[in-house]
A and B are shown apart, each in its own frame.
Chain A
Amino acid sequence: MIQMTAEAVQATRTQPVVEMSGVSVSFPGVKALQSVGLTLRPGEVHALMGENGAGKSTLIKALTGVYSIDEGTIVVGGEHRTFNSPAESQAAGISTVYQEVNLCTNLTVAENMLLGREPRSFGRIDTREMNRRAGDVLTRLGLDVDPKSQLGTHPIAIQQLVAIARAVDIDAELLILDEPTSSLDADEVAKLFEVMRALRTDGVAIVFVSHFLDQVFEISDRMTVLRNGQFVGEYVTADTTQLQVVKAMIGRELETLEKIEQEADEHTVKAQGEPLIEVLQLSRKGSVEAVDLKVFEGEVIGVAGLLGSGRTELARLLFGADTADSGDTRMRSRHIKLRTPRQAIDHKIAFSSENRRSEGVIGDLSIADNMVLVMQASRGWLRPIPAKTKDRLVSKYIEALDIRPADPQALMRNLSGGNQQKVLLARWLITEPELLILDEPTRGIDIGAKAQIQQLVADLAKDGMSVVFISAELEEVLRLSDRLVVMRDRRKIDERANENVTVSDVLEIIAGEVRADA
Chain B
Amino acid sequence: MRNLTRHALFWPLFALGLLLVVNVIATPSFFSIRVQDGHLYGSLIDILRNGAPTLLIALGMTLVIATRGIDLSVGAIVAISGAVACTYMAGSPDESTAGRAIVAMTMAVGVGILLGLWNGLLVSVFGIQPIIATLVLMTAGRGLAMLITDGQIITVNNALFKKVGTGFVLGLPVAILIALAVFAITAVLTRRTALGMLIEAVGINPEASRLAGVRARTITWTVYVFVAFCAGIAGLMIASNTSAADANNAGLFIELDAILAVVIGGTSLAGGRFSLTGTLIGAMFIQTLATTIPTMGIPAETNYLFKAVAVIVVCLLQSPKARAALSVRRPSGLLTKGTAA
Contacts and interface: CB of A to CB of B under 8 A. Distances in A.
| A–B contact at 8 Å CB threshold (below) | yes
Interface stretch (A258-266, A371-379, A509-517): A371-379
Interface string B207-239: 111111111000100000000000000000000
A384 B273 contact: no
A505 to B, nearest CB: 30
Contact of A85 (B212, B213, B334, B339): B334
A28, A362, A379 interface centre (most CB from chain B within 10 Å): A362
13 contacts: A67-B334, A84-B331, A321-B211, A341-B212, A341-B213, A359-B207, A363-B204, A377-B213, A380-B194, A382-B193, A384-B193, A417-B341, A427-B212
Interface stretch (B39-47, B70-78, B89-97, B195-203): B195-203
Interface stretch (A141-149, A209-217, A350-358): A350-358
Interface of B: 192-195, 197-198, 200-201, 204-205, 207-215, 219, 272-273, 331-335, 337-341
Contacts of B194: 376, 379-385
A358 B204 contact: no
B80 to A, nearest CB: 29
A341 B192 CA distance: 26
Nearest to A376: B194
A348 to B, nearest CB: 12
A30 to B, nearest CB: 8
A341 B214 CA distance: 9
B200, B204, B331, B333 interface centre (most CB from chain A within 10 Å): B333
Interface of A: 26-28, 32, 57-58, 61, 65-68, 82, 84-86, 319, 321, 341-342, 344-345, 351, 353, 357-365, 369, 373-374, 376-385, 413, 417, 427, 444
Contact of A28 (B200, B205, B215, B338): B338
A58 B340 contact: yes
B258 to A, nearest CB: 23
Contacts of A344: 213
B204 A362 contact: yes
A360 B334 CA distance: 24
A384 B192 contact: yes
B137 to A, nearest CB: 26
Contacts of A67: 333-335, 337, 340
Contact of B208 (A32, A359, A444): A359
Given A66-B333, A359-B211, A364 B338 contact: no
Contact of A365 (B201, B213, B215): B201
B213 A378 contact: yes
Contacts of B195: 381
A286 to B, nearest CB: 19
A360 B208 CA distance: 5
B212 A374 contact: yes
A6 B340 CA distance: 39
Contact of B334 (A84, A321, A357, A364): A84
B334 A66 contact: yes
B333 A364 contact: no
B307 to A, nearest CB: 28
Contacts of A364: 200, 204, 272-273
A379 B194 CA distance: 9
B198 A362 contact: no
